[in-house]
Structure 1
Amino acid sequence: MPRSSFAKVNVVIDTGNPLLDRSVDGFLKIGTVAATRAVAEDAYHIAKRGSIATKDLKKMCKEGAYWGTVAGVYTGMEYGVGRIRGTYDWKNAMIAGALTGGLASAVTNGNKDKIVMDALTGGAVATAAEFINYLT
């Protein structure tokens, strides 16, 4: 069961399904980071106007939902690949990263070359993150 801790607030996700638990946990973690990034990016404009516009809130929600969804798909795929393969190693991250990168690109872009490049990038980034995680 995934556990998240932020500012001394512990959140436990337990839906009864490990795949869904990991997906929801990834969505919440990365979605929060993406929404915070959008706030930080627009902080100057918000301060200059003196108020938050509806478009600012929409952008925060859209960024959070997009990146949260990508993270949820990735963590779910990594877990699923591990279950299928019967082992948990860096190859799961590579496969899940490639599938997630290709899927996210296919949803937002119809260019086949871009989909392949995004799949390769997703696999490479996920593999690199996994190796860095092993080093620390």
Structure 2
Amino acid sequence: MPRSSFAGAFSSPKVDVVVDMGNPFLNHTIDGFLKIGTVAAAKVAADETYHIVKRGNISSHKFEQSLKKMCKEGVYWGTMAGVYVGMEYGVERIRGTRDWKNAMLGGALTGAFLSAAGNNHRDKIVADAITGGAVATAAELLSYIS
């Protein structure tokens, strides 16, 4: 039986935007905000486009709502990512080493900080810190696998 195969490699395009704030901590924080905020806004844009196509019509009011939702989600996720990247970088600088523990501590600090900023109670802040640390650690350890 004849067979055919495809040999090659796929790679995603790499877009790098450099914003120099004059401080490495700020550079990492702004970079995380911009990258993840853009991804979140693009995700909302894709969702809203799907819903517009499904409904078959668009109005200026719906377009304005979609744009506001894109901005809101972009800022929310961008802020979360910026705080996390900044915290992880700060922990790395304080500890003087680069390992998975920085992700764990950065995630825990981010979870606690964002939860406290939302006026949550102490138990919720602790739970969010544990969740943030666990998610960041899992993501960091999974990045070692590939």
Change (3 A) 1:14 1:106: same
Number of corresponding residues: 131
Across the aligned residues of Structure 1 and Structure 2, the Cα RMSD in angstroms comes to 1.8
Match among 40, 53, 56 for residue 66 of structure 2: 56
- TM-score (normalizing by structure 2): 0.80
- TM-score (normalizing by structure 1): 0.86
Q: Which moved more, 1:49-58 or 1:81-90?
A: 49-58
Residue 34 of structure 1 corresponds to which residue in structure 2? 40
SS of corresponding position for 2:80: helix
Unaligned 5+ residue runs, structure 2? 1-11
Residue 70 of structure 1 corresponds to which residue in structure 2? 80
SS of corresponding position for 1:126: helix
Residue 3 of structure 1 corresponds to which residue in structure 2? none
Match among 1, 5, 11 for residue 17 of structure 2: 11
Q: CA deviation at 1:66?
A: 0.7
d(CA) in 1 for partners of 2:127, 2:76:
19
Change (3 A) 1:76 1:112: same
Residue deviations 1:53-110, cap 9 Å, x none? 3221111101000110110111011111111111111111100100101112222352
Structure with a larger share of its residues in strand: 1
Q: Which moved more, 1:20-29 or 1:9-18?
A: 9-18
d(CA) in 2 for partners of 1:41, 1:102:
30
Contact 1:77–1:96 at 8 Å: present in 2 too? yes
Q: Which amino acid aligns with 2:19?
A: I
Q: Which has the larger radius of gyration?
A: 2
Query: Percent sequence identity over matched residues?
Result: 63
